[in-house]
Amino acid sequence: MIIKVSNLVKNYGDLRALDHLSLEIKEGEISGLLGPNGSGKSTAINCILSLLEYDSGEIEVFGKPMSPDAYSIKKDIGIVMQNVAVFQELTVYENIDYFCGLYVGDKNRRKNLVMEAIDFVGLEDFTKFYPKKLSGGLLRRLNIACGIAHKPRLIILDEPTVAVDPQSRNRILEGIVELNRQGATIVYTSHYMEEVERICTRITILDKGKPIATGTKEELKDMISISEKITVETSAITPEQLAKINTLECIASAQYKDDLLVVISEKGKNNITEVLNFLHSEEIAYDKVITELPTLNDVFIELTGKELRD
Amino acid sequence: MFKHIFINRLKVLLRNKEVIFWTLVFPIALATFFNLSLSNMATVESFELIPIAIVENDEYDKNFSFQTAMTDVSQGEDPLFHTTLTTEEEAIKLLEDSKIDGYIILNPSVELIVKESGINQNIIKSFSDTYMQLTSSANYILSSNPRVAQDFYNSLTEWKTYTKETPLTSSEPNNLLSYFYVLIAMSCFYGSTFGNNEIMYIQANLSTLAARINIAPVHKLKIFFASMTASVLIHFAELLILLVYLVFVLNIDFGTKTGLVLLSTFIGSITGISFGAFISAFSKKDENTKTGILIGITMLCSFLAGMMYQNMKYIIARNVPLLSYLNPVNLLTDAFYSLYYYDTLKRYTLNMALLILFIAIFWAATYKLIRRRKYASI
C-alpha cells in the first residue's frame, strides 16, 4: 500500500473538514479524489503530507507513519500544488533545478533530470523565460515539472488544471498517464469529473470530508439505479402523452421542456426502443435522439442529492 | 545542499527589484537629497556680515578712535559689519527699506537707531556699548592717573581667560552628520524586508511556495539559515555601497574608527533583518501588508531618532529616556555618532550591547514562532 489513511478527523474550529476519512491507495494506481470545492480534498492531501495538524487518525505512506521529519518518505514524493508555487525571480530551468536540488544532490544527475522534466512538459523553448512571461498553461506545466523532476514514486497533483486552456489541459492529463506508465503512483484531486473519469483507475468521491463511494468508474456507475439519459427533440407532446411516458415500465422519470423530452431510464435493456415505440404509436414526430450514459455527476447526485459543482 | 539553497537564494534576492529598491536605491537617493538640502542649511547657518550705516557728520569726522574701531570691525580677518558711510537722511531710508539693520550717529555720544529687535541688532548694540564703556574708562584713567596709561593700553590687547576648555574629542562637533548616521541606521532597518521574505518563503501557512519547500526532504531551519545567510550577505554589501557613497561621494565624515564603523553596520544589518523576520513570523498578514508595516515602523523609529527633525532625538532623550534605549534605530545612530565624536568607547559599547540584545530577542522569538512543523491551517 502506498498510502493508508485511517479514520482521519480534521476540524477547523467548529467546522469538520475531514470526518473519519479512510483511504487506501495501491502502488501503480491513478487514484482520483473527486468532490466539490470544500469537500476536503486539499485538506486530506495536506494532512497526508504532514503540513496540517489533524485531530485524530493515522496516516502511513510507503508503509511507514508519516511525519514532518520523515525525510526517507518525503524524498520519494512529488507534489504539484493547486496554486502555482515557483520563484518569479528564477527562470524556468532554474526553478526546476532548484526544486530538484532539494531532493537530488548530485549535480550531473540533476542536470539530466531537469532536462528530462523540461522535455516531458514541453518547455524546451522556454527554459530561459521567467514565470511572468509564461501563459497560464505553460505556467501550470512549469509547476508540474518542479514537482516531478526528481522522479518520485508517488506524485500528488492537487487540482493541477484549474484555469488552464483545453490544449494545455489535454497535455497535462496525457502527461499524468505517461508518468503512471513509467511507474509512478498518482493521487489526483479535482472537481472536474470528466478529468477524473478520463485518467483515474480508481476514484474516491468525497463530500463534506467523508468518502461517499470508492471504486473504478464502472463500479461507481453500477452503484446507481439509472442506466442512461435519452433526449428527444420534438414539438408535439401533450401533458397526457408525457404522463403516459412516465408510466412506461423502464422509465425512472420523464420531463418535457423547451421542445426537449428528457427521459431517465432505469437499468435494463432496450430502453430507447421502448421510448421510440411509444412515440411511433402516438404518431409523435421527432428530430434528433441523443442517448448518454450516466456520469460521475449522476452518481454524485444520486448519492448526495446535489450537483457535483454546487 | 546549503550551497545549492544559498546560491539560488542569492539569485532570487538580487533579481527582486522591489527589495533592491528599498534597501539600496532609496537610501542612496535619500542621502543625495539630504546632502543637497543640508548643504543649503550649512550655507544658511554661516555668518553673514551685518549691514549698518554710520552717519557722516562733524562729530564722526573729529572722532578718530571711533573711525579706527569701525575700521577694525568692518575689515580685518573676521569682519563683523558691512558699513556704509552716509548722511542721516539716507541712513533713515536704508533702515526703512531694511537694507541695513541699524545706523549709528555720533551726537557726540554713540546713538544706535534700529527698526526692530533681533540678533543682529543686539550685536550692533553690544558693539556700541562696549565702545562707549572702553572710551569712558580710557578718558577716566587718563584724566585721573596718566601714569598708568601705558598699562591700560596694554591691558586692552591682553585678554585673559580664567576658564579652560577641555574638549571631549578631537573631532569637531557636527550636528548635520547625525542626519546621515540616522540614514544608515534606517537603511539597516530596511533590511527587515529581507527578513520578511525569508519567513514568507519558509512558513507553509504563509505561501504556497513555502508549502512546497516544507514538503521537501530538508529540515526547514537548514533552508532558513542558508537563505538568511544570503540575505545578510546582500544587505551588508548594499550597506557597504551606501557607506562608500557617503564617504567618497558626499564626503561624510565617519571619524577614524573604520573597523568599528563596519562592525556597527554589520550588527545593524543583522538587527534589521532579524526584526523583519520576527514581525513576519508574528503576523499572518500578506507579504505586502507586512512590508508596509515594516517600512512604517522603520520610518517611525527613524523619526524618533531625529531623521526628519534633529531635535526629536534630544526631546526623546530628555522626556522619555527609556524610549531612546528601546529604539534600535536610535541606538545605531548613536553608535555611529559615538564613534565619530567620542574618543572613548563607553557609549558605543552600551549601544552595541543593546543592539545585540535586540538581535537575541528577535531570534529567540522568531525561532519559537517558526519551529513548528505542522500548521493548524494553510
A196-200, A268-272, B321-325: which has the minimum mean pLDDT?
A268-272
Among the partner-chain residues B207, B217, B375, the one whose CB lies closest to the CB of A103 is B217
Distance from CA of A42 to the nearest CA of B (A): 10
Find the mean pLDDT for residues B368-377.
77
Secondary structure (DSSP) of B199-211: HHTT-TTT-HHHH
- Minimal-distance CA residue of chain A relative to B222: A102
> What type of residue is B337?
Y
Longest dimension (CA), chain A: 77
- Which of helix, strand or coil describes residue B232? helix
Domain chopping of chain B, boundaries: 2-41+175-371, 47-156
Strand-pairing partners, residue B105, are: B111
The phi and psi torsions of B300 (rounded to 5 degrees) equal -65, -45
pLDDT at B291: 86
> Tell me, what's the ipTM?
0.80
Find the mean pLDDT for residues B66-88.
84
pLDDT at B201: 87
The answer to whether the CB atoms of B217 and A72 lie below 8 A apart is yes
Instruction: Enter the pTM of the model.
Output: 0.74
- Minimal-distance CA residue of chain A relative to B15: A89
The answer to whether the CB atoms of B374 and A99 lie below 8 A apart is no
- Minimal-distance CA residue of chain A relative to B376: A53
> What type of residue is A128?
K
Query: What is the rounded CA–CA span in Å between residue A127 and residue A92?
Result: 5
Confidence of residue A47 (pLDDT cuts 50, 70, 90): very high
A 10 A CB-CB count for A278 gives: 16
pLDDT at B259 over 70: yes
pLDDT at A310: 47
Of B38-47, B60-69, B354-363, give the range with the top mean pLDDT. B354-363
The answer to whether the CB atoms of A49 and B1 lie below 8 A apart is no
The answer to whether the CB atoms of B213 and A102 lie below 8 A apart is yes
Residue B100 vs residues A260, B43, B72, B84, B326: alpha-carbon distances, Å: 103, 21, 19, 9, 50
Spell out the residues 6+ positions from residue B253 whose beta carbon is closer than 8 angstroms to its own: B171, B174, B177, B340
pLDDT at B43 over 60: no
B-chain residues within 8 Å CB-CB of A51? 204, 211, 214-215, 374-375, 378
**What is the side-by-side strand order in the sheet with A260-266?**
A251-257, A260-266, A226-233, A289-292
Residue B155 vs residues B99, B134, B138, B141, B149: alpha-carbon distances, Å: 37, 11, 11, 13, 10
- Over residues B146-166, the pLDDT tens digits come to 777 777 766 665 656 566 666
How much is the mean pLDDT over chain A? 88
Find the mean pLDDT for residues B7-31.
91
The answer to whether the CB atoms of B4 and A46 lie below 8 A apart is no
The answer to whether the CB of B271 falls within 8 A of the CB of B246 is no
More confident residue, A84 or B119: A84
Fold of B47-156: D-Maltodextrin-Binding Protein; domain 2 (3.40.190)
Q: Which residues of B touch A (CB under 8 A)?
A: 1, 4-5, 8, 11-13, 15-16, 204, 207-209, 211-219, 373-378
Find the mean pLDDT for residues B317-322.
87
In chain B, which ranges are E strands?
A: 50-55, 81-86, 102-106, 110-114
Distance from CA of A57 to the nearest CA of B (A): 15
DSSP for residue A162: T
Confidence of residue B14 (pLDDT cuts 50, 70, 90): very high
Q: Which of A15, A52, A91 to mutate to test the interface with B (most CBs of B within 10 A)?
A: A52
pLDDT at B158: 61
A 10 A CB-CB count for B225 gives: 15
pLDDT at B157: 59
Find the mean pLDDT for residues B175-189.
86
- Over residues A165-192, the pLDDT tens digits come to 888 888 889 989 999 999 999 999 988 8
The phi and psi torsions of B220 (rounded to 5 degrees) equal -65, -25
pLDDT at A241 over 70: yes
pLDDT at B289 over 60: yes
Among the partner-chain residues A12, A74, A90, the one whose CB lies closest to the CB of B216 is A74
Spell out the residues 6+ positions from residue A269 whose beta carbon is closer than 8 angstroms to its own: none
Distance from CA of A305 to the nearest CA of B (A): 30
- Element containing residue B41 per DSSP (H, E): helix B26-45
Which three three-digit cell numbers place residue B249? 561621494
pLDDT at B333 over 60: yes
Angle between helix axes B2-14 and A92-101 (nearest 10 degrees) is: 150
B-chain residues within 8 Å CB-CB of A74? 215-217
The answer to whether the CB of A55 falls within 8 A of the CB of A10 is yes
The answer to whether the CB atoms of B8 and A71 lie below 8 A apart is no
More confident residue, B351 or B378: B351
pLDDT at B54 over 50: yes
pLDDT at B345: 87
